[in-house]
Amino acid sequence: MHELPFGANRHADGRTRFRLWAPAQRQVLLLIEDEAPLPMQAVGDGVFEVETRCDAGTAYRYGLDDGSSVPDPAARAQRDGVHGASLVVDPLAYRWQHPRWRGRPWHESVIYELHAGACGGYAGVAERLPQLAALGVTAIELMPIAHCPGSRNWGYDGVLPYAPQADLGEPDRLKALIDAAHGLGLMVFLDVVYNHFGPDGNHLARYAPSFFRDDVSTPWGSAIDFREDAVRRYFTHNALYWLHEYRFDGLRFDAVHAITDCGWLDEAAREIRASIGDERHVHLVLENDDNTARHLRREATGGYDAQWNDDVHHALHVMLTGEDEGYYRNFADDPARHLARCLGEGFAYQGEFSPSHGRERGMPSAGLPPQAFVAFLQNHDQIGNRALGERLSVLADEEALHAAVALLLLMPQIPMLFMGEEWGSRTPFLYFTDHHGELAAAVRDGRRREFAHFASFGTAPERIPDPNDPGTFAASIPDAAAEDAGRVRRWEGRYRHLLALRHEWLVPRLSDGRAHSHGACVRALAADVLGEKAVCARWQLCDGSRLTVATNLGGDSVGLEPPGGRLLYDSAPAATAQTPANRLPGRCTRVYLECGP
């Protein structure tokens, strides 16, 4: 159990301490359902608290000076949505079946991102775990589950960060999912959002206006004020809560470029590492559009294992689809050069001018190990933030996509898949919410304005699905049984084979066996452009072996002197067997391993 410095903390003697930071209030009442109001005592620094006897499941709210009442911003569970009563939870009620689980080292990670609601809630995800473990996945990553308004939401509209979304299942059902994953050798990561609150159900400004800045705005409203100690503790303890109380194996921090005080990131990482110690493998991953490499230097910050590498995705997407609108125009000039730099140095943009940003972006990353980057061909953003949510299985040539998958799964960067990708799903993943009234109309219209400058939608915005239509969510649920059976078998066979090769030949060579070395012994030797859509990269692995991955996503063959060593994988169909030995066929990836001494 992680003792929270706020919220409702139930003790072994049956008493519960309630604590709220409400610096704008003169008096706060604890309103327990069917009981007389209890005045809370001011204990300094804007904090109010009271202790009383109550059972798990007790419904409560906080009463404010103006006579209104609000839910607990640190509620462990919620009843009747984000505006309803909070619930007292006994964190010790669940009996863990695998309490000795200590996680897995970072270099073994093969991540599978999913939306729990689209998989049938926590119980539905648990049912899929054996299949994912058999595929070769070693970690599942849940999109945010903090309580959001309505029952259908991506999760980034959360307003109660400590309360798992009730429509997905009870808190103990979430613990059972994590427990089952651990029993199968799977890690479980959680996407957490500390850069904003959603537009409906956040009451903090009413009793703690200093939670937000009045001089800095973000796309979601006033920026959160991380200069306030209470704010920093609120989010640091949220991270510790998920890691200790639910035994998550890692966290992915959403859009940290929108956090106004980046010093908190390093502070939080140090506190998390100190709290966890060396007994468990716990992994911290960033999403940072600014490519701020300094957060990834663990020896300096104490902290983060890796960052999502959008640059890899964007370069590969342009090579596979030819698209050049939006942020893809940053890569359209020479995608192979950008990809080669990603394979050799981490980021493509390391301080250069980015056309879509209108400014310089990034910082040098060449000194970082490949495992400091999470690479992907698809994720919730890159599919769902398209107007029609199309997957690469719809947009790209199958042979070229196969070659790109082989690159993804057999290079040293940490690979991530998105649900349904492994069977070549053609089901879209659309942006969906469950807002009502004026907010629903604003979200729908804003979504359509967002794509007004795209050639495909400028004259027909009504083609873009309404996020609040229940059918939009229903259309986003992947189902292998509803797909073409031949394509499902073909793609699953490819992913299973590639991941088996990764685990047998690559993973053992990505670590020198030292605890928390994080692949620092892996280094890039070269990354060269072979053609308009072709690159070849080489790495020296921890045992002295040399890995070479040559990828050609174009239609014509390119020159390639055959590397030494064992040919681990060739994605080309048999029809290309007549290609000369010194040529790499079109739409092909070949992977070679030259074993060390």
Active site (catalytic) residues: 254, 287
- Say how far apart CA 329 and CA 317 lie, in whole Å: 11
- Say how far apart CA 380 and CA 462 lie, in whole Å: 22
- Contact status, residue 426 vs residue 439, Cβ threshold 8 Å: no
Centroid of chain to Cα 145: 12
Tell me the Cα Rg of the chain: 25
- Say how far apart CA 251 and CA 240 lie, in whole Å: 10
321 exposure class (CB count in 10 Å sphere: 0-12, 13-18, 19+): middle
- Say how far apart CA 172 and CA 93 lie, in whole Å: 8
Phi/psi at 480 (nearest 5 deg)? -60, -35
* Residues whose CB is less than 8 angstroms from the CB of residue 259 and which lie 6 or more positions away in sequence, other chains included: 194, 195, 224, 226, 265
Q: Please report the DSSP string for 355-400 in residue order.
A: TTTTEEE----TTS-GGGEEEES--HHHHHTSTT---HHHHS-HHH
- Contact status, residue 349 vs residue 341, Cβ threshold 8 Å: no
Q: What angle do CA 573, 375, 185 make, to 5 degrees?
A: 90
Task: Give just the sign of the alpha carbon dihedral 264, 266, 268, 270.
Answer: negative
Q: What angle do CA 372, 340, 360 make, to 5 degrees?
A: 75
Phi/psi at 502 (nearest 5 deg)? -60, -50
User: Which strands form 41-44's sheet, in the order they lie side by side?
Assistant: 7-10, 15-21, 47-53, 41-44
Can you tell me whether residue 126 is helix, strand or coil?
Answer: helix
β-bridge mates for residue 361, sequence order:
352
- Say how far apart CA 97 and CA 109 lie, in whole Å: 23
Residue type, 541: L
Helical segments of 261-334, H only: 263-276, 298-301, 310-321
